[in-house]
Structure 1
Amino acid sequence: MNMFYLEFIKHGRKLAEDRGINWDIPLDSDGMAADGIGWNLTIAAGDTPPPSYYLRDFTSDKRTVEILKQEEMSNENFLLPFLVLSKAWQDLVKAAVANQLFYRKNSPTHVSNNIIRPLKVIATCAFNTEPWALGLNDLVFAIKIGTKIQASGKLGDLIKGIVKTIIDVEHIADACPLYPSLPMNRLLITNNRARCTKSVDELLNDLGTRKRAERLPERRAFWELVRIIFTEKPKTLTDEFRFTALKVLLTCGLRIGEAVLLPADWKRTKEHFDHRGRPAGELGGYSSTLMLRHFAEKQKTDDSAILVESFQYVPEMFTDLLTEALDRAVRISQPFRETLRLQVETGRTLPWYDKKEFVRVTDLYPRLTGNPFWLTLEADYISSIVNAYRDDFSPEVLHNLREKQTLQYKEGSEITLSTALYAYLHRLRSNIKDGKTAIRFYRPDGSIMPIKSRMLWGEVCLNIGELEGHIQRDTPTKIPDTLPLKLENGIFQPWEFMFLMPKRSVAEERDGRICDVTRYFSVGIPDPVFLDCALGDKVTFESIFERYGETEDDRKLTLKSHSLRHLQNTELFRLGVADTIITKRYNRRSVAQSYEYDHRSLAEELDQIELPPNIEISLGEKATIAAKMIKAGKATGPIVEAFKRIQQLEGDDAAFQYLRGEADGFHATPFGHCFNSFTVDPCPKNLECFAGCRHLTATNLPSNRKYLLKLEERFSTALEAAKSRSSKSIGRDNQIRHAQDRLDAVHALLATPDGEKVFPDGPDFSLSPQPGSVLDE
């Protein structure tokens, strides 16, 4: 144990205790804290649920243990990790959480996903090692296991981040710094075809290869998503809201959390006039524009729990589509909005009744479960009601259904209560018998009904005060989300959100029926999981692809919500929108952030570079590409140097005239771009550019890197094979030297930034060797 570890734990303990949080968490034998004992990270950070994140599980990471079992199955001496983390690891996790949550002001979501999970993976992999004794091998092994858990590499990257930002920065381990020695992953090789086997046309087509194309949505999944949300009829109220939120993601490029937490009062318009006060529409522009009010994330505020209000202009082509979808969502969720507002203003769970009132269970059942069918009705009639409601989600259908059931029950002619209502009441009766709840059954006059007596369920009543206590105490997952959220100047009430959802509406989600939005008491605010599940990013629930896909392959599709933001950002760049406008549109703080979302191909980037029309016509296609690459700073070489020199000395016309004559000097090679003319003689090295030729310019295109990584693997194999031979001949030494030189050259090419020379001081292989005498060196 070192002093830095002790200081980090001491600082974390003080941060927690200053906020009244108990540092010592009693655990059971399984390493879990009892309900109400662990840390509620959401409440501790001053945030408002949902979602709620907790620190109460100090067991080994279960998925890591499963992978370790598979890894060490053949090792008879392998011992499974201890179920409960050691005291030192528990303290490190708590200190890291306190530091991130209270000192660095990160969100509970970030702490739960990006701090606690990777720390537990490290602790599980190094179960025989305390934090201060961690070594490089422990962390490399943890990264390896993390990559096996998540094939995307995300968890492995999070483990590296923990090493860099916590273990190294706080000097937790005696062997720090450890991060610089960790392996850095490179792109996977998925295309085994050598670039040198392609034709000239295929090589030129590599100009269309996109940068980091894996961050864009997969083509089939994207178009299937478009088909579903614009043509399919939602099967549930929840799906209706999901479709609307996905339309927002698609048309506005918001982050998933921003789309989920849209305010009901979303619409803003801005009028545009000229300097004389005339509407811009009279002058060929737009007289008004629509803006989407939303709450922007990642705005670097002092408190991560604060909602930061922002506005985004809606493109004219999406105005009608978005207005129709969002206005419809506001209308459909209005009954929930009224319910939640009444609950917030009264501080009551069931504000429609007096606390001392005794209400029949037949009236309370739709309030408590959301199921509007409490009588036994014909299947065809129930189906017609479900279809009628889903056509437009009109509350009028629910009102008519309730009036008809009430009238039928009063008439009493062969009417029985529904099976679902009987099952609900029998469960409640069993809980009362077992002492699991404090509520009791009453007669309409308020007298207590003996629990063992024969029940006439239509006459059974519940006391509202007791029922509210039961809900708060025994059904915490159904408590409405009534806590206000903080704005920069004021508060934002939960009923002001657009998307309000029924919590645990079993009748709708599981039984294929509908939820009575006019009566159900349990109203919640959705969280990002609401959309992650819809897109298949979370496998816990059925995705919209599984529910609405036409074919078996369609139902297996998944899509990441953030890829839609990457797609729109790239499209705006491709259409020539200024990077400053793109940055402002997406609430970013620097233009550089926007370029992280730029996945244009080189050809699309060159399309945005303008040359004078007369020059572009005179140059021709190939020379125009070369001119644009020079202007964009994407090319170097002797032709580029000569072009710039002539441009400086003799002007643009002479420079472009020179470039037209040297148009064949632009070559797309399997390794990068070459700007050297081979008009008379072919390349003397047969495009073995990585031999150190000074004309080679790095591109960092994925296709180039894949081929280079393949070469790296081949040269490494050849080098190892040469070194393994026992021969001491000159030929062996030559083979080793040749392979080592080429391997070093490939490494240099992989490490060179886009558009820069790889070997600026290398030989010019385009020059023919001059004959010399025996005296020449």
Structure 2
Amino acid sequence: MHDAFVSFVESGKALAKGRGMAWDFPLDDAGASVIGWNLTEIIRGRPPTHYLRDLGQDTKALAFMNALRVERGHPPLVKSALSTPWQDFIKAATCDQLLFKRNTPSHVAQNIIRPLKVLATWAGTVEPWQLTADVARDAISMAGRMQKSGKLADLVIGIIKTVVDTNHLSENCPLSSALPTERLAPNPDRKSKEVKSKDEIRQSLEHRKRAERLPTKRAFWELVRIIFTETPRTFVDAIRFNALKAMVLSGLRVGEMTGLPADWKRFREYYDANGRPAGESGGYSKALMLRHFAEKQQPRHGDSAVLIEKAQYVPKIFSEIITATLDDTVRLTQPLRDTLKRQVETGRMLPQFGENDLVPVAELYPFITGNPFWLKMGKELSDDYVARYRQGFDAQVLQSLAQHQHKEFEKAGALDSATYVYYNRLLKNDSKEYPLLKLRHSSGEEYAPERKTWREVFVRVGELENYLAASAPTKLSDITSLKLGAGEFQAWEFLYLTPKRALSEERNDGICDITRYCSVGVPNDMLLLSVLGDVKDQKESLFMRYGQTVEDRALTLDSHMLRHLLTNELFRLGLADTIISKHLNRRDVAQSYEYDHRTLAEHLEDMDLPAGTEVALGQSSATVAALILAGKAVGPIATTYKRIQREQGDQAAFEYLRVEADGYHSTPYGACVQSFMTEPCPLHLQCFTGCSQLIATGLPENRRNLEGLEVRFQAALSDIQARPVGTVGRKNQLQHATIGLEGVRKLLSTPRGKRVFPDGPDLSKLTPPGSVLDD
């Protein structure tokens, strides 16, 4: 066994021991465990909960392998536990990433454990320290065919590079240098437009940079219509509507939005130099701030589970709607917050009762299931309560309903059929892992096994809590506190709280009694991601549920597009990049420019031309002037403009542009400012052969054109070199292909906005007499 591998595993064991984690836990034949490691609980992280409790072969990878084996005439394999070294490797990598590098449980589960299991499944009998480049390449190839997007293959490559090679775990390291490096195919929606008329060139000024990262106009405005005008049909949808309203206006990440604290409101006071409120001097005396926990702010090697508290300024025009929206969310979730707070303080599921209290099972039905209807009621009356509650989700309606049923129950009202069904099924859930729930008389004596009258059946609350904790662990409330930089943040302090697995509302088109329901959850990103239509295996999206037309119901929207949209609007309105970066919790200004999707026309609007210049020049020539002033356009016109400006002043230079410049020209390979209306390019846009006026754009369509041209030049060069030396024209053809190939490669390597051949000739001019082309 390789020494580096042994050291890596021992380091993992030491980390696990320091956290009180049992290294060995029992597995069944398939490699699954009932115990395992609760990764979220280990670091006291925020839901959802991630586990390491399956150390068997990856199910999907094994199915893919078995399909290949059957094609080759071999019997399929049965899922089994991985070998002990592979199990130790996965555990050690988990501890290293989670406890030492302090990455999040979701990152460890998705980007470390899963690709390691895929690699181990394909490796078979090859142990980790015996890994070779061939085994790794085969595993990557299999992962690429399993998941067409290529993401899983990228993760396997990442594991080889960052875990195996970095720690030198294999005797054959380094392996990464022999791995494929092709990335995902470019977005097919980015189409190149190689031939453009003058009108099309003008339209290209409205073309957005990386427009696919912005929401479509129809999807965005349909979402706005839904969340601002539709009446939500469920309590959780009401929460989602409010969250999306705030998200559109604030630009927070989806995790930052779903993790807002209930105590979100902060104010900052401003005073002038004399100590008076700034409002008395024409400014603002008070600014509203949105307290939140920012993501991607942890210092290097910082604890990923610690919440980083920030405060975002709320623009004055949004302060009223943000306040109304978030205050309404506080009102909606307050009953859940009260329940969760009492559960945290008492450590019990049903803190409304004493542990030794005997309570009729009928009255406990809404506390356990969330369904407020436990007594038989007429359909008209129940529909009336449902409609009244959905009108504004007022908890007083639920209280009124509960009081009505209690009065009817005392008058010997019959139980609802759903109550009978639930408790009859509950008694059939007998298991060796937990005892059967004890039913009692009002005196406390246990019921005999004879037929029961459910109206008269009681349970001891403490016994019911123990039974539910054992039989339905997924319905336990999220009570784990989270870590702040100083102190702790309790689960009940979150703004967005939802009932967990409230089937009466989610599945049965009813309502949930949030004032009594005992299962309260702290939602994660999926609260919003699952209903925007851009998640695989999603639930019914908001577009499907509230769309007015067939086309509207088919819309989807990526939540992160809202952040791109707000950033782009702030740029368009002229805010400084430093302000935008700080406002949206970015570490440096460069990150904000990845979210800048302004059109060229919008860029040019920010540029200041002398008063009256645009009117005098006309729109087309004024655009060229702005490009030249910004340093984004070169060419004979730009060179002459600068010379005239330097020698004769701005007025003469602008007069020259008015006569000579007819617009901005984009070629399939780069950009150029040259009047092609009366004098076309002599080289027919073969700019890559050395024209000094060519500018690299870095646009995806330009790169694809150039990469295709590079392949054709390489093929032509190979054909020419294969011909006999004495072949007629071979030398000129070889020279032409070589120059073209070198020019294309240089253009590909030139940074965006830079001249490719700054010292080359100006090939946009006519060829001077005496050149080879005159012969």
The normalised TM-score by structure 1 is: 0.90
Give the conservation status (yes or no) of the 8 Å contact 1:708–1:746: yes
Measure the CA separation in 1 of the matches of 2:583 and 2:317.
Answer: 16
Shift of 1:659: 5.5
Which has the larger displacement, 577-586 or 681-690? 681-690
Question: How big is each residue's C-alpha offset from its partner over 1:152-186, in whole Å with a ceiling of 9 and x where there is no partner?
Answer: 55444434433443233223442425258632436
- Alignment correspondent of 2:251: 253
Moved more, 153-162 or 580-589: 153-162
| Residue pair 2:277, 2:285 contacting (<8 A) in 1 also | yes
Post-superposition offset of 1:457: 0.6
1:509-539 superposed Cα distances (whole Å, 9 cap, x missing partner) = 1111111111111111111122111113242
Report whether the alignment pairs 1:209 with 2:203.
no
> 1:696 aligns to what SS in structure 2?
coil
Deviation of the 1:446 alpha carbon: 0.6
Q: Show the 5 A alignment for 1:696-715.
A: 696-709=694-707, 711=709
Where does the alignment leave 5 or more consecutive residues of structure 2 unmatched?
A: none
Match of 1:270 in 2: 268
Q: Is contact 1:88-1:130 (8 Å) kept?
A: yes
User: How many Å separate the matches in 2 of 1:265 and 1:353?
Assistant: 28
Q: Which residue of 2 aligns with 1:365?
A: 365
Distance, in Å, in 1 between the alignment partners of 2:707 and 2:275 is 62
Contact (CA 8 Å) 1:256, 1:562: kept in 2 or not? yes
- What pairs up with 1:736-751 in 2 under 5 angstroms? 742=740, 745-751=743-749
Instruction: State the shift of 1:725 in Å.
Output: 10
Instruction: Name the residue aligned to 1:347.
Output: 347
Rounded to whole Å, the distance in 2 between the matches of 1:180 and 1:260 is 43
Partner of 1:521: 518
1:54 and 2:81 aligned: no
Cα shift at 1:765: 2.0
Q: 71-80 or 626-635, which moves further after superposition?
A: 71-80
Residues 465 and 646 from structure 1, CA distance in 2 versus in 1: closer, same or farther, beyond 3 angstroms? same
Confirm or deny that 1:543 pairs with 2:541: yes
8 Å Cα contact 1:60/1:120 also seen in 2: yes
Change (3 A) 1:606 1:703: farther
Other-structure match for 1:480: 477
Aligned partner of 1:169 among 147, 161, 166: 166
Q: 1:279 to 1:732 in 2, by over 3 A?
A: same
Matched position secondary structure for 1:228: helix
Cα 1:166/1:434, change in 2 over 3 Å: closer
Which string of whole-angstrom CA distances, capped at 9 and with x for unpartnered residues, describes residues 361-394 of structure 1? 0111111111111112222222111111010111
Q: Structure 1 747/378 Cα, relative in aligned 2: closer, same or farther at 3 Å? A: farther
Q: State whether residues 57 and 80 of structure 2, in contact with CA within 8 Å, keep that contact through their aligned partners in structure 1.
A: yes
Opposite residue 267 of structure 1, the aligned amino acid is K
Change (3 A) 1:534 1:737: farther
**Secondary structure of the corresponding residue to residue 291 of structure 1:** strand
Alignment of 1:182-261 (within 5 A): 182-185=180-183, 188=186, 190=188, 195-261=193-259
d(CA) in 2 for partners of 1:10 and 1:612? 71
- Superposition RMSD in Å: 3.5
**Amino acid across the alignment from 2:82:** L
Shift of 1:252: 0.6
C-alpha distance in 2 between matches for 1:433 and 1:126: 39
The 1:729–1:59 alpha-carbon spacing in structure 2 relative to 1, beyond 3 Å, is farther
The residue type paired with residue 209 of structure 2 is: K
Matches within 5 A, 1:352-431: 352-412=352-412, 415-431=413-429
CA contact (8 A) 2:290 2:314 kept: yes
SS in 1 for 2:209: coil
| SS of structure 1 residue aligned to 2:167 | coil
Distance 2:370 2:304 in 1: 34
Query: How does 1:664-679 map onto structure 2 within 5 Å?
Result: 664=662, 666-676=664-674
Q: Do structure 1's residue 322 and structure 2's residue 319 form an aligned pair?
A: no
Report the Cα offset of residue 348 of structure 1: 2.0
Q: Distance in 1 between matches of 2:335 and 2:418?
A: 24
CA drift of 1:762 comes to 4.5
The one-letter code sitting in structure 2 at the alignment partner of 1:499 is Y
Structure 1 CA distance for aligned equivalents of residues 187 and 523 of structure 2: 40
Percent sequence identity is: 48
Pairing 1:461-610 to 2, within 5 Å after superposition: 461-536=458-533, 537-610=535-608
CA distance in structure 1 between the partners assigned to 2:604 and 2:393 by the alignment: 50
Instruction: State the Cα distance separating 1:360 from its structure 2 match.
Output: 0.8
Measured at CA, do residues 726 and 608 of structure 1 come closer, stay the same or move farther in structure 2, by a change above 3 Å? same
1:545-586 per-position Cα deviation (integer Å, ceiling 9, x unaligned): 222223334333322211111111111111111111101111
SS of the equivalent of 1:697 reads: coil
Q: Determine which of 436, 439, 442 is the counterpart of 2:437.
A: 439
Letter in 1 for 2:55: F
Q: Select between 221-230 and 610-619 the one with higher mean Cα deviation.
A: 610-619
Instruction: After TM superposition, give the deviation of residue 444 of structure 1 in Å.
Output: 0.4
Counterpart contact for 1:81–1:124, Cα < 8 Å: no
| Residues 318 and 153 of structure 1: CA distance in aligned 2, closer, same or farther (over 3 Å) | farther
Secondary structure (helix, strand or coil) at the match of 2:398 reads helix
- Name the CA shift for 1:386/1:666 in 2 (closer, same or farther; >3 Å): closer
Answer yes or no: is the 8 Å Cα contact 1:358–1:464 preserved in 2: yes
SS in 2 for 1:195: coil
- What is the alpha-carbon distance in structure 1 between the residues aligned to residue 433 and residue 119 of structure 2? 44
Q: What SS class does the counterpart of residue 754 from structure 2 fall into?
A: coil
Change beyond 3 A, Cα 1:530–1:453:
same
Name the aligned partner's letter for residue 431 of structure 1.
N
Instruction: Give secondary structure in 2 for the equivalent of 1:17.
Output: helix
Contact 2:439 2:457 in 1 (8 A): yes
Give the letter for the 2:163 counterpart: I
| 1:657-713 Cα distance to aligned partner (Å, 9 max, x none) | 666665358522222111456687421111122334332111122443454455456
Alpha-carbon distance, 1:257 to partner = 1.0
Q: How far off its partner does 1:507 sit? A: 0.7
Q: After the TM superposition, which of the residue ranges 187-196 and 97-106 deviates more from structure 2?
A: 187-196
Contact 2:434–2:467 (Cα < 8 Å) also in 1: no
Question: Where does residue 293 of structure 2 map in the other structure?
Answer: 295
Offset, 1:748: 3.7
Within 2, Cα distance between the matches of 1:625 and 1:164? 48
Q: 1:46 to 1:193 in 2, by over 3 A?
A: closer
Q: How does 1:5-16 map to 2 (within 5 A)?
A: 5-16=5-16
Residues paired across the two proteins, number: 770
Cα distance in 2 for partners of 1:192, 1:380 equals: 56
User: Contact between 1:616 and 1:624, CA under 8 Å: does it hold in 2?
Assistant: yes
Q: 1:100 to 1:646 in 2, by over 3 A?
A: farther
Q: Distance in 1 between matches of 2:77 and 2:625?
A: 63
- Measured in 2, the distance between the counterparts of 1:519 and 1:282 equals 50
Is the 8 Å Cα contact of residues 190 and 706 (structure 1) preserved in structure 2?
Answer: no
Q: Distance in 2 between matches of 1:189 and 1:233?
A: 37
Name the structure 1 match of 2:32: 32
- Offset at residue 104 of structure 1 (A): 1.2
Q: Aligned runs of 1:710-729 on 2, under 5 Å?
A: 711=709
User: What SS is found at the alignment partner of 2:54?
Assistant: coil
Deviations 1:62-102 (A, max 9, x none): 34445556778755569669654344433332222211111
Amino acid at match of 1:420: A
Contact 2:289 2:314 in 1 (8 A): yes
Letter in 1 for 2:689: A
TM-score by length of 2: 0.90
Structure 1 Cα separation of the partners of residues 206 and 472 of structure 2: 57
2: CA distance, partners of 1:146 / 1:426: 47
- Alignment-derived partner of residue 41 in structure 1: 39
Number of the residue aligned with 1:305:
305
The answer to whether the 8 A contact 1:42-1:108 is kept is yes
